[in-house]
Amino acid sequence: MAKLKVPVSPDDHVQGSDNAEVTLVEYGDYECHDCGLAYSIVKQVQKHFGTRLRFVFRNFPLTKVHPHAESAAETAEFAGAHKKFWEMHDLLFEKQDRLGDAFFSELAGKLELSPAELNQALESNKFAARVRAEFSDGVRSGVNRTPTFFLNGDRYDGPVEFTDLVSAIDKAVATARHP
């Protein structure tokens, strides 16, 4: 079974407590249809487990098949630099069919961020190094498609459906309690 090679750190985008029983790490692509489907399932799973689950999102833009994936990831990182990563993350997945520069500027305005600063950041590739580093970390962990999930450091290759994820997380909780 593949293992997460780069542990969760303070540099990651995290929802939930460091003391949660289970950590779910997703390597995702904002333009990936399957990631869009997984987005709503992850939201349900987070609600189901509450404080028992910590969720981490890492960028894995598949630029050869998704022309807006890199700039969407950089847009999310721009928002993250302004403490609004999760708000941008959610908007990008909820309106996945509208990805593009004009839409990114629109979202920046909606989140009360400067569209001009965003455009400058995208043009200068200000956040490209971070996105590429997460991509490289994913490759080191055996990620070769999106979405790819890890539960407490072990790759999860099961179906990305609510009941399947809940079962896998329950098993990870049981394993964590009784190794």
pTM of the entire structure? 0.96
d(CA 151, CA 153): 5
pLDDT in tens, 43-91: 999 999 999 999 999 999 999 999 999 999 999 999 999 999 999 999 9
Domains of the chain (ranges; CATH) run 14-177 (3.40.30.10)
pLDDT in tens, 130-150: 999 999 999 999 999 999 999
- Give residue 174's pLDDT: 84
HSE, CB side, 13 Å, CA atoms: give it for residue 100: 3
pLDDT in tens, 161-174: 999 999 999 998 88
- Give residue 179's pLDDT: 62
Q: Is the peptide bond before 10 cis (omega within 30 degrees of 0)?
A: no
d(CA 1, CA 156): 9
C-alpha dihedral over 40, 41, 45, 46, to 10 degrees?
-30
Q: What is the DSSP track for 12-74?
A: SEEES-TT-SEEEEEEE-TT-HHHHHHHHHHHHHHHHHGGGEEEEEEE---TTT-TTHHHHHH
Q: What percent of the chain has pLDDT over 90?
A: 95
> Are 75 and 102 a contacting pair, CB within 8 Å?
no
Q: For the chain, how many residues are written? A: 179
